[in-house]
Amino acid sequence: GQNIDQPTEMTATEGAIVQINCTYQTSGFNGLFWYQQHAGEAPTFLSYNVLDGLEEKGRFSSFLSRSKGYSYLLLKELQMKDSASYLCAVVDSNYQLIWGAGTKLIIKP
Amino acid sequence: ETGVTQTPRHLVMGMTNKKSLKCEQHLGHNAMYWYKQSAKKPLELMFVYNFKEQTENNSVPSRFSPECPNSSHLFLHLHTLQPEDSALYLCASGRGRETAEAFFGQGTRLTVV
């Protein structure tokens, strides 16, 4: 079966750095997305990785290792507004999005 | 504003009611999706439409009936639902098969009583 694993919940301090991990086992791989979802709002696109390595976009970076079936989202200089759920999704061989259950990130002052 | 609009935002319905959820996208996309999001569970893909044709139906009970009159509009008709159907129902659109990025609406929070 297809499986995406990510931690259910993480807590971090304002101004700090946090890394949210995602491991996957899917039938084929055509890329990996990270989405951010604030409570009661739509998931919004954060990043897309299809090749190994690190993609940096401001305070957020996303890393992919296809051989390890592993990705992480790195958030730097955390702000209170970063409190949200972070969803990992893999594009399988049929170009379907396979979703993780999301990681709820709580930022404390 | 994501370019995908869902109405209503909240809905409470009894198990014998019939209601419909509406989704409209203003992005010129060819694909539209219905997802169910339950607490602490992965997003569940329910239905996929490409160019108004249904291409996926992931074993969804018949009490959920989708309708896609054109590439910009998508409906989810609901009847005789169960309390376990209470969830956030998200509509999304996309450019199509080889570009999997999904653009989401804000969802309808459905409560079945």
Using the structure block, give the residue that is written with the tokens 């946090």: A18
Judged against a pLDDT cut of 70, whether residue A39 lies above it is answered with yes
Give the separation between CA B45 and CA B93, rounded to whole angstroms: 12
The residue that leads in pLDDT, B50 or A24, is: A24
Side-chain-side CA neighbours of residue B11 (13 Å)? 27
Residues from chain A contacting residue B41 (CB–CB below 8 Å): 101
Query: What Å distances lie between residue B113 and B13, B14, B81, B108, CA to CA?
Result: 6, 5, 9, 16
Instruction: Please report the beta strands in A1-102, taking only residues with DSSP state E, as ranges in sequence order.
Output: 3-5, 9-13, 18-25, 32-37, 44-49, 53-57, 60-65, 70-75, 84-91, 97-99
Is A101 close to B105, i.e. CB distance below 8 A? no
- Tens-digit pLDDT profile for residues A71-107: 999 999 999 999 999 999 999 998 888 999 999 999 9
Out of B2, B42, B45, name the one closest to residue A4 (CB). B42
One-letter identity of residue A39: A
A88 in reach of chain B (CB within 8 A): no
The pLDDT value given to residue B1:
60
